[in-house]
Amino acid sequence: MDTTLRDGEQTSGVSFAAEEKVSVARLLIEELHVDRVEIASARVSDGEFKAVQKVTQWAKNNSHLDKIEVLGFVDGTASVDWIERSGCQVMNLLCKGSENHCTHQLRKTAQEHLRDIRSVIDEARSRGIKVNIYLEDWSNGMRHSQEYVFEMMDSLCEMPIERYMLPDTLGILNPDETELFCRKMTDRYPSLHFDFHAHNDYDLAVANVFEAIKAGVHGVHVTVNGLGERAGNAPLASVIALIHDQLKLSTHIDENKLYGVSKVVESYSGIRIPDNKPLIGDNVFTQVAGIHADGDKKKNLY
């Protein structure tokens, strides 16, 4: 799932215009062939609502509506109302994945939170909206309150949820922890579809995605050029290269279109791609050292 238009837009100083959101969504889905695109958070602003309406109308006209997703909240019917009016049919419901968040931000017990979640899901489903779940701060939950995580999951797995999305919200995980924690989820709930959502605070987002896939998760979240909160998310181009070349797995992504889409997002976001950015930077296929240049000239060795 690409979340450039939602989490990527949370990059400091970045705000996409409505037509830019439509353009990026079209490029992601029709040029790159990304499976799913998260385009916004519910209830942000009137401008965001109009942008979502434009994207969903384009998607509906082109038979892509099932690929468009919006972040929603455990807020009674407010997010469901917003998403329904926007024309979107998939809600990514943000729930608390750590006891610390549930206790101190919501000031509720796990069971109280679960009752609220069930109410939102039932309302969404009654209106024809599919629901995926984000377990916000899941990585800290697995470090410090696994009993809470499993109490939540043991109930959530009985609800009509399509995907269970595991965010490393603060970018705290290392690859060993990522593999261990994701494996615990996939082993305990083998019939469920899990996504992993990495953040790059320790420059480990791509490495953590690698371990999450090896641990059996079914989907990963990315952004074009690694845009996102703080240090950003796992970069789309790097993750695709990792999946194709290192893990020897296949996706629907057309690698030949990655550079062009990256340049469009660079223009819209105002965030310049570093020249040495892996795979899409202007200098990454340029050899300067004499021995490298000699080897390339003789047999493309480098």
- Concatenate the DSSP letters of all residues of 185-220 into one string: HHHHSTTS-EEEE-B-TTS-HHHHHHHHHHTT-SEE
Give me the catalytic one of 6, 38, 99, 211.
6
The side-by-side arrangement of strands in the sheet containing 37-41 is 37-41, 68-73, 90-96, 130-136, 164-167, 194-197, 219-221
Token readout for 61 is 């006209």
Residues 6 or more apart in contact with residue 34 via CB below 8 angstroms: 1, 2, 28, 67, 236, 252, 253
∠ CA 253-259-263, nearest 5°, is 125
| Known catalytic residue at 143 | no
Give me the catalytic one of 99, 136, 179, 229.
136
Which of 152, 154, 155, 210 is closest to 182 using CA atoms?
Answer: 210
| Known catalytic residue at 163 | no
What dihedral angle (degrees, nearest 10) is formed by the CA atoms of 18, 134, 129, 33? Answer: 60
Token readout for 127 is 């209106």
Indicate which residues carry an active-site annotation.
6, 136
